[in-house]
Amino acid sequence: MSRFSDTSFKGLKALVRVDFNVPLNDKFEITDDTRMTSSLPTIRKILADGGAVILMSHFGRPKGGPEEKYSLKHLLPHLKSLLGDNIEVKFADDCIGESAIEQAKNLKPGEVLLLENLRFYKEEEKGDKGFAEKLSKLGDLYVNDAFGTAHRAHASTAVVADYFPAGKKMFGLLMESEVNSAEKVLHKAEKPFVAIIGGAKVSDKILILENLLEKATDIIIGGGMAYTFCKAEGGKIGKSLCEEDRIDTALEIMKKAEEKGVSIHLPSDSVIADAFSATAQTSTSPSNAIPDGWMGLDIGSYACEQFINIIHKSKTILWNGPMGVFEFEKFQHGTREVAKAIAEATEKGAYSLVGGGDSVAAVNQFGYADKVSYVSTGGGALLEFFEGKTLPGIAAISE
């Protein structure tokens, strides 16, 4: 497999798949540009080598044809300001066709061309070969830097790679660091390895839990999903979140963990509330004896201590999903303490990977993003990686 860093792009046009699917407000202003800034090192390296960059991305969920609000042209001014005045950034109002080909052909070294939204063609998500081949004609090499969509077998994320010979397709710097970080945790974890899994739904996390049973030393389960496990063990959970149809699954996971010698840790106590509200009345309770009419919305102080101790003694840490309803100040203590403990363990030499929308939002909000080893940009893609699935975007280049 060709390495991006070892490649010289001098005189070449690189077709770069990025994930520029940034959130916009109703004035078309970008409210979080992380996805754009994450791909800047890749773009800059190609330009610095004397190459030209053709950027392609999806944006929002258009219904299979052009829609003004999903045009990537809204991102052009910000892209220009990120790259600086001395870089020429052009826009093609179609991602395939005569004009895109013409603009790509005329692109000079050091210039950038942003193509219009790939999802204006339904062929993109269908992984259509003809569409992928048309895209491939635009560049001399294919660079995939879109980890966020690596779990999709779309034309631009996977199929297009078939039209480039080995040596002319590679991961970009973001994709490379995402893959290295995820592989380090899943396949080369130094033990003890703790996986901290939280959030609302057990059903979303079953596959990841099952796969982690093969890898982790400890699994901490927090957040709303913990209460289905507490109930499965015979606890009383009041009106806490519970997926009744997943109680058997929770029992099976706990049984398998025991057989494999993996320790599953549930929160011994909870901060409980009389309503799902930022202003609810609160109290504390053992997680298996929550009074009727009350719900667990955060892990309690004993659980915090218990989880912090496990995190501190671990050498590898994976965190996906908050410990409570951290969006409400009254219930953010557990998530904040876990973030802090991960930062402390990292400082003492552990390797920590934080991934999944809400845990990333939490480390950012609490100021720990630069104190953990790696913050992933991929939500669904990272989850699928840890479920043990082959990601089409990775396989298309590495196989």
Tell whether residue 199 is a contact of ligand AMP (CB under 6 A).
Answer: yes
The verdict on whether 184 is a catalytic residue reads no
The verdict on whether 201 is a catalytic residue reads yes
Nearer to ligand AMP, 92 or 241 (CB): 241
Q: Give the nearest distance from C-beta 205 to ligand AMP in angstroms.
A: 7
The verdict on whether 35 is a catalytic residue reads yes
Cα–Cα distance measured from residue 338 to residue 356, given in angstroms and rounded to the nearest whole number: 15
Cα–Cα distance measured from residue 10 to residue 8, given in angstroms and rounded to the nearest whole number: 6
Q: Give the nearest distance from C-beta 214 to ligand AMP in angstroms.
A: 22
The verdict on whether 357 is a catalytic residue reads yes
Name the nearest CA neighbour of 295 among 320, 324, 275. 275
Query: Which one of the listed residues 13, 35, 152, 169 is annotated catalytic?
Result: 35
Tell whether residue 267 is a contact of ligand AMP (CB under 6 A).
Answer: no
In the block, residue with structure tokens 């380090």: 184
Q: Give the nearest distance from C-beta 263 to ligand AMP in angstroms.
A: 21
Q: Give the nearest distance from C-beta 78 to ligand AMP in angstroms.
A: 27
Tell me how far CA of residue 216 lies from CA of 190, 220, 287, 354, in angstroms: 10, 10, 24, 15
Among 358, 371, 388, 398, interactor with ligand AMP by CB under 6 A: 358
Q: Give the nearest distance from C-beta 25 to ligand AMP in angstroms.
A: 20
Q: 3-class SS at 213?
A: coil
Q: Give the nearest distance from C-beta 287 to ligand AMP in angstroms.
A: 10
Query: Which one of the listed residues 60, 64, 110, 380 is annotated catalytic?
Result: 380
Name the nearest CA neighbour of 303 among 347, 335, 256. 335
Q: What are phi and psi of 295, to 5 degrees?
A: -135, 145
Tell whether residue 392 is a contact of ligand AMP (CB under 6 A).
Answer: no
Tell whether residue 379 is a contact of ligand AMP (CB under 6 A).
Answer: no
Nearer to ligand AMP, 89 or 280 (CB): 280
Tell whether residue 252 is a contact of ligand AMP (CB under 6 A).
Answer: no
Q: 3-class SS at 139?
A: coil
Give the x-and-dash track for 293-332 against ligand AMP (CB under 6 A). Answer: ---xx-----------------------xx-xx-x-----
Tell whether residue 223 is a contact of ligand AMP (CB under 6 A).
Answer: yes
Name the nearest CA neighbour of 170 among 14, 44, 21, 43. 14
Cα–Cα distance measured from residue 372 to residue 31, given in angstroms and rounded to the nearest whole number: 24
Tell whether residue 206 is a contact of ligand AMP (CB under 6 A).
Answer: no
Cα–Cα distance measured from residue 330 to residue 278, given in angstroms and rounded to the nearest whole number: 7
Length of the chain measured in residues: 399
Tell whether residue 361 is a contact of ligand AMP (CB under 6 A).
Answer: no
Please report the beta strands in 277-329, taking only residues with DSSP state E, as ranges in sequence order.
282-286, 289-290, 295-299, 316-320
Helices and strands in the chain, H and E counts: 15, 17
Nearer to ligand AMP, 127 or 379 (CB): 379
Pair of tokens at residue 25: 């407000």
In the block, residue with structure tokens 């320790």: 263
Nearer to ligand AMP, 131 or 227 (CB): 227
Pair of tokens at residue 77: 């001014």
Among 90, 201, 236, 371, interactor with ligand AMP by CB under 6 A: 201
Tell whether residue 200 is a contact of ligand AMP (CB under 6 A).
Answer: yes
Tell whether residue 172 is a contact of ligand AMP (CB under 6 A).
Answer: no
Q: Could you tell me the sign of the dihedral formed by the alpha carbons of 373, 375, 379, 381, in that order?
A: negative
Binding footprint of ligand AMP on the chain (CB under 6 A): 199-201, 204, 223-224, 241, 296-297, 321-322, 324-325, 327, 356, 358
Tell me the catalytic residues. Answer: 35, 201, 357, 380
